[in-house]
Structure 1
Amino acid sequence: MSKKKVLLIGWDAADWQIIWPLIKAGKMPALEKLIKNGVYANMSTLNPPYSPMLWTSVATGKTPDKHGILGFIEADVEKQQIKPVSSLSRKTRAIWNIFHNQGLKSNVVGWWPTNPPEPINGVMVSDFFQKQYQKSKGFEDWPLPDGVIHPESFKEQLKECRMHPNEMSLEQVLAFMPTYTPQKKEEKNEKDGGVFTLSKVLAQNVSIHAAATRLMRTTEWDFMAVYYDFIDHMCHAFMKFHPPQLKGLPDHIFERNKDIVNNAYQFQDMMLDRMISMVGEDTNIIVMSDHGYESGNKRIVKMPKFAAAPALEHRQFGMFVAAGPDIKKGEKLFGLSLIDIAPTLLHMFDMPVGKDMDGKPILGMFNEQKKVSYIDSWDAMPGDFGEHSKLPQNTLDDEQVMQQLIDLGYIDKPDEDKKKNIKRAKCDNKHNLARVYLGKSDFATAKKLLYELIEEQDVDLVPYFLELLNLTVKEENYEEAAGYLAKLRGLEKTFLYTTDIVEAKILVGTGKLKEARVVLNKAIAQKPNKSALWYELAKLNLAKQFYKKAKQDLEKAIAIENDNARYHQLLAHTLVRLEAHEEAIEHAFISIELVNYFPEAHYTLGEALEKMGDLENAKIAFETAARLKPKQHHRANKAIENIEEKLTDAIELTDKVAYKHRENQIVVVSGLPRSGTSLMMQMLHQGGLTPLTDSEREADVSNPKGYLEYKPVMSIHKDNSWLEKAQNKVVKIVAPLLNFTSPAYRYKVIFMTRDLTEVVMSQQKMKGEAKTLPLQLVEKFKKQLQLVNIWKDKEPGVELIYVDYKELLNGEDATLLKITDFVGIPLDIQKMKGAIDTSLYRNRVTATNESSTES
């Protein structure tokens, strides 16, 4: 692709859930035009979703642990104070530094954080440019300090682009809230229902827009990046008034403010329209946001008082749109992350991508598919990168920006104790770093940082214990998690955090399913609109194989939160179990569209496609699942092998028997208790298979030839690591425990069947219990047989044959040949016959009949 101009526009917090209805109503025509002439997608954010961290990741292609911006503020130990993060806090080169080195000219306007501006080839207007009015009495007394713009020669022409809130007419401000009627028209203060807030945010973004369009018109540039915080700030101030009306919100306040968020989006679209009109046909345009913003039932009327609480309403997905001469038209892309932007920009300008970047180029957006070139690291390259050679003497007062962060609720008001402020800032940033590692699934590093934090004195420990609680649940370390939950509840009597979901997970993890159900049902009764509760209840029902109930739960969760990839994946999984394969495929696709890097969703898609007979695409889905999973995906690997065999050997889709010997296979003898499993173990042993047994259970009157059992089998639900010892051997595992086998191995299951009445009565006789036939137990065993049938179908590493107990006792060659063919190695059939003692069965039948007569 040829080198062309690129315009990157950042809309902080822009969300498709607001955008699509406005586009449908014809109220965002500029963005709609770009979508029709380009590509669009969800843009996945990072954790934690704090704007300075995220926009630096956009500019560097790296996660915060690498680029160094870890929050809104940082400690200045030398001056014994805290200060806003700055461009000096970043410890890796941004995209504009690389472009400077490669001879491109860049304009960067308002990007957060870029103060003090770097001496790049082009113009950099820092994020302090529009924020210098707090101490001024009015716009007549509003100087623009030095050190806000590079080069300084642009200061005079750009300072006229700024707009002070007091320059805003009331009519301009009230265009966003047309039903507002002030007592006095000239009133615009903090108590006027949001007019001052609106005018302040509007003035700042108009200032950014004016500076950006001035530079677009008066300078030469190859790359331009412009950042707007308009939508984000308007959402933080007014989203609680957005329709539908939240409970407890007075009607007159709702009516006055309900249109503000939509009007903010439309105003942002007007600014976009102006920018589009100013660029030529040689310009590729990207519009994106760093995260979304809750506009539904997760909105918060009264924000809790703790650090960065406003980020609670940030959603996982932002938006992405790209259009231009190098971009495809009319396509939707999948699996994008904001760390992909910098590598994509490098690729657009035919520059190599740093191997140390966490993102990757978005190749699917381009008309021309060009091979990506790589470099180890741009940070290791010598030369001029437009960086600060020495610390600039910034004349700005950081207190002004600090006050804005306080006003927005991103930080608490600093304490008078400076040492306490520094300590809190350090702890907050260490906590944010731990959350970054959690997002990267580096649990060990995250846990190390959190352990250090809980040893701190005179700080709020609740967030750290809460993080450890969630982390240990993810690790399935439920005993440790239970300890943290108890610790949390002891730390704070008025506990502000909701822990019902994590409590339910702990209960499930420790086998207390009934208690977990009580917790979830109680929480649902109090908060029926919390989608995560329905999701957890669905998982509980799946564990009990109540598929119809799980489906209903997931449908309720999706009705509340329809763009949650986990919900759609689990619904697809459930639908496969219910044999609703077409519907399962639909929800699996939705899940993948939302989060492409989701191996479970690809695996579920493969399951459904295989059931539909689409083997080629099923194989692709399984291969994708195996590729995406960080660790080996045993189920996907086995499923791929099965499909390859079906494609080459034309085996029936429903046939679980491949009649092939598998290296290191585990032969399992299973069935209901007293169905002939011990006899089968004896026969296989005599026939030449080595049993996995510890001989702890001795022969008795019910089984005089012995059981050939292995005691750890009874604890397989807690520990199945011993299965490695069963490779190339035969082991007995009763039917209810089959579900706890590991997907890491191949299994040949010989499942013994027997008349259920005989099975139950034999068990009753063995236990010396009542001689009547317990019908409930018969029904329970029928259900168990159905569950085994479902289990064998869903597990790609399992092959299974059913062997009737009576046919086995008859010693028919056909039955024994079926077994040896299934196992896949020669067995001595005559010795197998020698293990059969039909007198034992006759004795049991007589006893059963006598019991039936007596009853």
Structure 2
Amino acid sequence: MQKNKLLVIGWDAADWKIIWPLIANGQMPTLKKMIQNGVHGNMSTMNPPYSPMLWSSVVTGKTPDKHGVLGFIEVMEDNKGVRPVTTNSRKARTVWNILHHKGFKSNLVGWWPSFPAEPINGVVITDKFQKVSIDPKKRKPLEKGTIHPESLVTDFKDLIMFPQEVTSEHILPFIPLAAKIDQEKNNGLFPAGKVLAENVSIHNAATRLLRTTNWDFMAIYYDLIDHFCHSYMKFHPPKLKGVNQDQYEIFKDAVAGAYRFQDMMLERTLELVDDDTTVIIMSDHGFESGNKRLINMPKVQAAAAMDHRQFGMFVATGPNIKKNQKVYGLGLIDIAPTILNHFNLPVGRDMDGKVALEIFKNPNKIEYVDSWENIKGDFGELKDKESLDVFSDEETMQQLIELGYIDKPEGKIEIAVHKTKCDLKQNLARVHLGKKNYSKAKEILLELIEEKEPIDVSSYFMDLVTISLEEKDYESARDYLKKLKSVKTDVKYALFFAEASILHGIGKSEKAIEVLEKAKSERRGNNPEIWYKIGLCNYSLGKFDDAQMAYERAVEIEPDKAKYHAALAENLIELKEYEEAAESALTSIELVKYYSKAHYVLGRALDKLGDLENAKIAYETASRLTPKKFYKAEQAIENIEEKLNLTDKNTNSYKKDQIVIVSGLPRSGTSMMMQMLYKGGIKVLTDEKRKADRSNPKGYFEYEPVMSIHKDNSWLSKAENKSVKVVAPLLKHLDSKFRYKIIFMNRDLNEVVKSQQIMTGRNPDELPVKLLNAFKKQLKKVEAWKDSEPGVELIYLNYKDVLQNPIDAADKIESFIGVKMEKNGMVQSVDKTLYRNKS
């Protein structure tokens, strides 16, 4: 018998939230034993969470834009119809293709999609095998391509269980009160009978192969849990408001029953493998089981997938697998590289996933090949994909319609074909969106919004709003949102999220909180995303205690959302709770290992704790995980290196191409400081459009584009090795890619307000308290902002002190900027007679 065998079992939609209580109650003993003898953890899914796309990523190690499976259905080659996705949809080689090329033997059972079967070394029982009509009169022979090799058709066709063979004894363990159902009026048992029969057929074929064949790699796919969840999760405890009590009592045990039956099938499967076999069980996504469950599905593409959760499950056991340990940060695209490494085969550099080395006791050395796609030879692939006689699969199509994954094609077939093409394009756009390739996503969506009825373009505009918000292009987001509202659609979108995000983005965070609070009250405060957004708004306002409460509530409702923990960690840093911040950042990383923001925030927390070596590692990891240049992380690394060299961030050393910023509240002495820098030999970025006047007789030294820096900061490169004036409220819009030396002018706030009153023609003796308080808050925000920007060095100079002792001020400025300056000219430029508005 072969050594080093690997068995992968796919449980579509399996979720730890359901599994752990069942294990605690002794109802999934087989999986429990595997966990105790192996490793387990979350399995992160991808966007959009459509199963055929995801399972194709599992076995290729690539995202859907690369492997080509982009939905549940595809357009037929002749453009005359649509059908469930097939092997022909896939444009990348799978692990079984690679193993075939290397002389290994593989068995495949029910994988989605795997029809028509590829001629690999081994046996393929495709996903079409178990799909039979519920009508016993429509029994038909297995279609060509369902099983490879074809000589096994006779052996396996009798292993198919037909829905009409399901009896009350089969149903009652899942639905104990099934006898109460009037089947003339309620078809609630149909899904259970059909799905149960199909998965028993898969199990029959799998166990036959386990007993009768030799193999190196085997993969089995079950959709039992996913399909039971789509049919019966609305009845799962706790009871949702709006669910009929009688229906609830009848169907409340159905989902748990599916999990328990899956565990029973697992027990038999494991009896048929030896101790030298490594076994992986995983799901492609989870399934909502709490208050976010949808009772009525909206009319959008693949609406049923809206119940899919971000995390699935992963368990592995075997001779080289660690024992009773939890692993973190696994993703679907990591499985294929890990399988190849298990067999000591090189990983394709064009694969998006990484080898999960942390699951192994003694991991193999990782070898690489540029791409398996470019290697010549026999990979067990279909020779002529276009000429295959593959027709629309009525049984599979009907099931996808019943589950809510696709709409029933009605009317002219050309309309159904065109709608499918649009859906596939949108799916591709969403894949690019998930990979943060916004330009490609936008290119596709901008074409789609030009579609006419009967295509509903509202979801395309919604995606464009999402992209614009990600790119911080709030004007475009507002424009797309306005167009979305004008589109005729039956879909009800939660537009308050977009509206709040736009308000927050343009600096109106208090207004954004009002929008979110209203939504929270209407939805009873159970939506964690609302709490998260409220936290973001309060954080930007410097209300860190309020932000903390909001983030904690979001985490309480949905504890396995990585971004909630990262935001919580960031806020804890502002509250100077550095140890707790590090813990929250680590929790975020445990959930999503490749989350660069979480690593960066961890670096900040460790930096504050004085753990410079590990802070540097965290910053380096954040930088490495970011597709584009992560300027903040790289600047933080430079700062750490300075500290490790017994220097300090504020050593005042000159930074290459640094920008000197003079800032402060209006009328705090910023123009005087600009004059000092100019006389000291620092070039000034100014357009001189604002002329000197009585308020500033020596000039303002302003640069007009600064006023619109919140919309466009691309001009900042012109300020390198120069000085420019930026008032305090606009500092947050500086581009983090540059290094800044900020001279911040402080002045008695009463004097600042009095000077502003005179300048604007108001009574200087009437000090507006509201404005005074706003200035105080602004100064606190600057301090918090400065502390979060590794590329920023900042010193405070007091206006009055500079006037009284300009020599001392000139020394401080020269030391801070890090270049030799003409200090005599700086001192001479200070005019004490201009100190007119004294407190």
1:513-532 correspondence runs (5 A): 513-527=509-523, 528-532=525-529
Deviation track 1:5-27 (CA, whole Å, cap 9, x = no partner) reads 00010000111111122223332
Structure 1 residues 789 and 503: alpha-carbon distance in aligned structure 2, compared to 1, 3 A threshold: closer
Picking from 400, 403, 412, the partner of 1:405 is 400
Picking from 320, 323, 334, the partner of 1:326 is 320
Deviation track 1:422-458 (CA, whole Å, cap 9, x = no partner) reads 2222222222222222222222222222233233343
- Equivalent residue number for residue 345 of structure 1: 339
Deviation track 1:640-686 (CA, whole Å, cap 9, x = no partner) reads 111111121154xxxx6222122222222222333322222222222
Deviation track 1:401-420 (CA, whole Å, cap 9, x = no partner) reads 22222222222222242222
- Equivalent residue number for residue 432 of structure 1: 427
The CA distance in 1 between the partners of 2:777 and 2:55, in whole Å, is 55
Aligned letter for 2:242? G
- Equivalent residue number for residue 100 of structure 1: 100
TM-score, structure 2 as length reference:
0.95
Structure 1 residues 370 and 698: alpha-carbon distance in aligned structure 2, compared to 1, 3 A threshold: same
Question: Relative to structure 2, which stretch is displaced further, 607-616 or 810-819?
Answer: 810-819
The CA distance in 2 between the partners of 1:405 and 1:627, in whole Å, is 40
Gap runs ≥5 in structure 1: 849-855
Aligned letter for 2:303? A
**Contact (CA 8 Å) 1:43, 1:320: kept in 2 or not?**
yes
The CA distance in 1 between the partners of 2:475 and 2:749, in whole Å, is 39
- Equivalent residue number for residue 807 of structure 1: 801
The CA distance in 2 between the partners of 1:699 and 1:152, in whole Å, is 90
Whether 1:487 aligns to 2:480 is no
Whether 1:627 aligns to 2:624 is yes
**Contact (CA 8 Å) 1:132, 1:144: kept in 2 or not?**
no
**Contact (CA 8 Å) 1:3, 1:348: kept in 2 or not?**
no
| RMSD across aligned positions (CA) | 2.3
Gap runs ≥5 in structure 2: none
- Equivalent residue number for residue 534 of structure 1: 531
Q: Tell me the secondary structure at the aligned position of residue 136 of structure 2.
A: coil
- Equivalent residue number for residue 687 of structure 2: 694
1:639-718 correspondence runs (5 A): 639-649=636-646, 651=648, 657-718=650-711
1:348-427 correspondence runs (5 A): 348-390=342-384, 398-427=393-422
- Equivalent residue number for residue 583 of structure 2: 586
Picking from 466, 475, 478, the partner of 2:474 is 478
**Contact (CA 8 Å) 1:77, 1:422: kept in 2 or not?**
no
Q: Tell me the secondary structure at the aligned position of residue 42 of structure 1.
A: strand
The CA distance in 1 between the partners of 2:380 and 2:816, in whole Å, is 70
**Contact (CA 8 Å) 1:666, 1:745: kept in 2 or not?**
yes
Picking from 730, 746, 762, the partner of 1:737 is 730
Structure 1 residues 263 and 761: alpha-carbon distance in aligned structure 2, compared to 1, 3 A threshold: same
Picking from 314, 323, 330, the partner of 1:336 is 330
- Equivalent residue number for residue 299 of structure 1: 293
- Equivalent residue number for residue 251 of structure 1: 245
Deviation track 1:345-404 (CA, whole Å, cap 9, x = no partner) reads 111111122223222222222222332222233232222222223468769872222222
Picking from 769, 776, 788, the partner of 2:762 is 769
1:612-623 correspondence runs (5 A): 612-623=609-620
**Contact (CA 8 Å) 1:657, 1:801: kept in 2 or not?**
no
The CA distance in 2 between the partners of 1:379 and 1:522, in whole Å, is 53
Deviation track 1:286-345 (CA, whole Å, cap 9, x = no partner) reads 111111111111111122344311111011211111111121223322222212212211
Question: Relative to structure 2, which stretch is displaced further, 224-233 or 23-32?
Answer: 23-32
Whether 1:606 aligns to 2:603 is yes
- Equivalent residue number for residue 70 of structure 1: 70
Deviation at 1:499, TM superposition (A): 1.4
Structure 1 residues 473 and 99: alpha-carbon distance in aligned structure 2, compared to 1, 3 A threshold: same
Picking from 626, 631, 636, the partner of 2:633 is 636
Deviation at 1:793, TM superposition (A): 1.8
Structure 1 residues 662 and 378: alpha-carbon distance in aligned structure 2, compared to 1, 3 A threshold: closer
Deviation track 1:477-503 (CA, whole Å, cap 9, x = no partner) reads 333332322222222265422211112
Aligned letter for 2:781? L
Deviation track 1:750-789 (CA, whole Å, cap 9, x = no partner) reads 2222333333323333333223252444333333322222
Aligned letter for 1:166? Q
Count of residues in Structure 1 that have an aligned counterpart in Structure 2:
834
Deviation at 1:815, TM superposition (A): 3.8
**Contact (CA 8 Å) 1:558, 1:567: kept in 2 or not?**
yes
**Contact (CA 8 Å) 2:742, 2:792: kept in 1 or not?**
yes
Structure 1 residues 676 and 464: alpha-carbon distance in aligned structure 2, compared to 1, 3 A threshold: closer
Whether 1:124 aligns to 2:116 is no
**Contact (CA 8 Å) 1:147, 1:394: kept in 2 or not?**
no
Structure 1 residues 494 and 432: alpha-carbon distance in aligned structure 2, compared to 1, 3 A threshold: closer
Deviation at 1:144, TM superposition (A): 4.6
**Contact (CA 8 Å) 2:456, 2:489: kept in 1 or not?**
no
- Equivalent residue number for residue 781 of structure 2: 787
Aligned letter for 2:161? M
**Contact (CA 8 Å) 1:52, 1:112: kept in 2 or not?**
yes
Deviation at 1:155, TM superposition (A): 2.4
The CA distance in 1 between the partners of 2:412 and 2:620, in whole Å, is 57
1:236-315 correspondence runs (5 A): 236-315=230-309
Picking from 832, 843, 855, the partner of 2:826 is 832
**Contact (CA 8 Å) 1:565, 1:594: kept in 2 or not?**
yes
Deviation at 1:463, TM superposition (A): 2.5
Structure 1 residues 274 and 676: alpha-carbon distance in aligned structure 2, compared to 1, 3 A threshold: same
The CA distance in 2 between the partners of 1:705 and 1:147, in whole Å, is 86
The CA distance in 1 between the partners of 2:322 and 2:351, in whole Å, is 25
Whether 1:17 aligns to 2:10 is no
- Equivalent residue number for residue 557 of structure 1: 554
TM-score, structure 1 as length reference:
0.93
The CA distance in 1 between the partners of 2:411 and 2:142, in whole Å, is 29
Q: Tell me the secondary structure at the aligned position of residue 10 of structure 2.
A: strand
**Contact (CA 8 Å) 1:145, 1:396: kept in 2 or not?**
no
Deviation track 1:499-547 (CA, whole Å, cap 9, x = no partner) reads 1111222233344445433322222221122222222222222222221
Structure 1 residues 640 and 102: alpha-carbon distance in aligned structure 2, compared to 1, 3 A threshold: same
- Equivalent residue number for residue 759 of structure 1: 752
Aligned letter for 2:519? A
Question: Relative to structure 2, which stretch is displaced further, 7-16 or 657-666?
Answer: 657-666
**Contact (CA 8 Å) 1:82, 1:422: kept in 2 or not?**
yes
The CA distance in 2 between the partners of 1:494 and 1:219, in whole Å, is 53
Aligned letter for 1:160? D
Structure 1 residues 259 and 712: alpha-carbon distance in aligned structure 2, compared to 1, 3 A threshold: same
**Contact (CA 8 Å) 1:190, 1:197: kept in 2 or not?**
no
**Contact (CA 8 Å) 2:79, 2:417: kept in 1 or not?**
no
The CA distance in 2 between the partners of 1:749 and 1:491, in whole Å, is 48
**Contact (CA 8 Å) 1:757, 1:773: kept in 2 or not?**
no
- Equivalent residue number for residue 450 of structure 2: 455
**Contact (CA 8 Å) 2:674, 2:725: kept in 1 or not?**
yes
Aligned letter for 1:503? E
Greater radius of gyration (CA): 1
The CA distance in 2 between the partners of 1:62 and 1:191, in whole Å, is 46
Deviation track 1:197-241 (CA, whole Å, cap 9, x = no partner) reads 212211111111111011101111111100000000000001111
Deviation at 1:142, TM superposition (A): 6.9
The CA distance in 2 between the partners of 1:69 and 1:581, in whole Å, is 45
Aligned letter for 2:151? S
- Equivalent residue number for residue 442 of structure 1: 437
The CA distance in 2 between the partners of 1:493 and 1:120, in whole Å, is 47
